A and B are shown apart, each in its own frame.
Chain A
Amino acid sequence: MKIAVLSGKGGTGKTTVAASLAVALSNSQYIDCDVEEPNGALFIRPEINETIPVNVLVPKVDEAKCDGCGACAKACRFNALAVVKKKVLLFPAVCHHCGACAIACPQKAITEAQREIGVVEADKDGRFLQGRLNIGEPITIPIIHKLKQCMRKDAINILDCSPGASCTVVQTIDGCDYCILVTEPTPFGLHDLKIAVALVRKMSIPFGVVLNKAMDEDQSIQTYCMQEKIPVLMEIPFLREIAENYSKGFLPVQMDAEWGNQFMQMFSRINGGEAL
């Protein structure tokens, strides 16, 4: 079973929820798909013992064969090549690895070469995976692909998404059985929750909401969820104690067994179909 945790707005508590769920369940594997700044490891403290490079294909020009016709630059939808003074200029970071330039080249002067954009790291117990995109790289998707290839099929996979609702998140939640949308009772939290809801509905993935930093005086999220008939799976109260422990690298489930029970119950609800 694959459960993705996303939020729309950043800082609502995706990692708190995803890592807590992974810690609470015995047969789980936590997968940090927030590859631009993975931080689940701060709480789970895995022993990384395998690092797998993630490569993409970028064009390589054989200058002896190239006659500078410019067909490659015209074929590129992403402007990753320019041809001036009969010479090809490559911009590998802009490249989307589609290979159109190599097909378009009438001289067969373009081949594709491997370029490393990041890594996937795994622990030895199969409980933890994280992707790490190299600094300055703009395209996350190949790392997400690799993470998904490396996931254990016999575990409950908990995929911790990046913030937002763009390509990286779409790629992460694609093929998942359930989405947990984490939000907070602020206007921004609600605004971005609506975007995340639109996304998971469009992708027809069953979902429920976890309300983090819940407080009695603001019922905006509960009201919205009731109107939209979205199950609220859990409320985590806005407590100084939780924030303090988080700042030291401890999850609620690691401090209080009752939270472990809460997360296990949430999983039963998701798995049992009540919230599906």
Chain B
Amino acid sequence: MKIAVSATGNSMDSQMDQRFGRAASFIIVQTETMEFEALDNNASASAGGAGISAAQMIADKDVKAVITGNVGPNAMNVLKAASIEIYKGLNATVKENVEQYNKGTLEKIQTTVPSHFGMGLKS
């Protein structure tokens, strides 16, 4: 299955990014094989609508789930419409998060953080 992880860098050893819309990048991972593809998040520096754009990008990759820290209300709407499940990641690498996902230990996120929550954070 294909899933996405918000990341601070572009490898499996990068830390997960706590931010969704303003994550530095997304790692798209095949959970069975651990094959991955890194996507720069062009929305990370956009003036507005970062979460919408990031959600669009991973929806276009046809992922079934995303592992991240916090999701805002607009991004949540897009992810829900795309039937992408959202999991609360650990403060760890992309690889460790995917391993935990495979074990089924990650919790699903149902609630959002307020708009612009990730704008004051530096990874």
Q: Is A243 an interface residue (CB 8 A)?
A: no
Judging by beta carbons under 8 Å apart, are B81 and A84 in contact?
yes
A188 CB–B CB distance under 8 Å: no
Which residues 51-86 in B have Cβ within 8 Å of A in the complex? 52-53, 55-56, 59-60, 74, 77-78, 81-83
List residues of chain B with CB within 8 A of the CB of A246: none
Contact between B77 and A89, CB atoms less than 8 A apart: yes
Complex Cα spacing A107 to B50, Å? 27
Segment 4-34 of A: residues with Cβ below 8 Å from B = none
A84 near B49 with CB under 8 A, answer no
Does A82 sit at the interface, judged by CB under 8 A? yes
- Complex CA gap A156/B11 in Å reads 62
Q: Cβ of B78 and Cβ of A84 under 8 Å apart? A: yes
A80 adjacent to chain B (CB < 8 Å): yes
A76 to B46, CA, bound (A): 12
Given contacts A73-B56, A91-B74, contact A79 B81 (CB under 8 A): no
Q: Which of A56-101 contact B (CB under 8 A)?
A: 70, 73, 78-85, 87, 89, 91, 94
Q: How far is the CB of A69 from chain B (nearest CB, A)?
A: 12
The one of B48, B50, B55 in contact with A82, judged by C-beta atoms closer than 8 angstroms, is B55
| CB closest residue in chain B, given A136 | B115
Inter-chain contact A94/B78, CB cutoff 8 Å: no
Residues from chain A with a CB closer than 8 A to the CB of B83 are 85
Interface footprint category on A: 10 to 19
> Which A residues are in CB contact (< 8 Å) with B60?
70
B121 within 8 Å of A (CB atoms)? no
A138, B49: Cα distance in complex, Å: 12
Which residues of B sit under 8 angstroms from A81, Cβ to Cβ?
52
Output the residue of A81, A82, A85 with the most chain B CB within 10 A.
A82
Contact of A80 among B50, B52, B77, B82 (CB under 8 A): B52
Q: Contact at B52–A91, with CB atoms within 8 Å?
A: yes
Chain B residue contacts of A91, Cβ below 8 A: 49, 52, 74, 77
In whole angstroms, how far apart are the Cα atoms of A82 and B52 in the complex?
7
Residue of A nearest to B73 (CB): A91
Known: A73-B56, A83-B56, A91-B74. A78 touches B81 (CB 8 A): no
- How far apart are the CA atoms of A138 and B43 in the complex, in Å? 19
Q: Which residues of A contact B48 (CB under 8 A)?
A: 78-79, 94, 138
A82 touches B56 (CB 8 A): yes
CB distance from B20 to the nearest CB of A (A): 13
**Shortest distance from the beta carbon of A164 to any chain B beta carbon, whole Å:** 16
**A79–B49 contact, CB under 8 A?**
yes
The residues of B with any CB-CB pair to A shorter than 8 Å are 43, 46-50, 52-53, 55-56, 59-60, 74, 77-78, 81-83
Extra pairs beyond A70-B60, A87-B81 (14, CB < 8 Å): A79-B43, A79-B48, A79-B52, A79-B53, A81-B52, A82-B55, A82-B56, A82-B78, A84-B78, A84-B81, A84-B82, A89-B77, A89-B81, A94-B52
> What would be 20 A-B contacts, judged by CB atoms less than 8 Å apart?
A70-B60, A78-B47, A79-B43, A79-B46, A79-B49, A79-B52, A79-B53, A80-B52, A82-B59, A82-B78, A82-B81, A84-B81, A85-B81, A85-B83, A89-B77, A91-B52, A94-B48, A94-B52, A94-B74, A138-B48
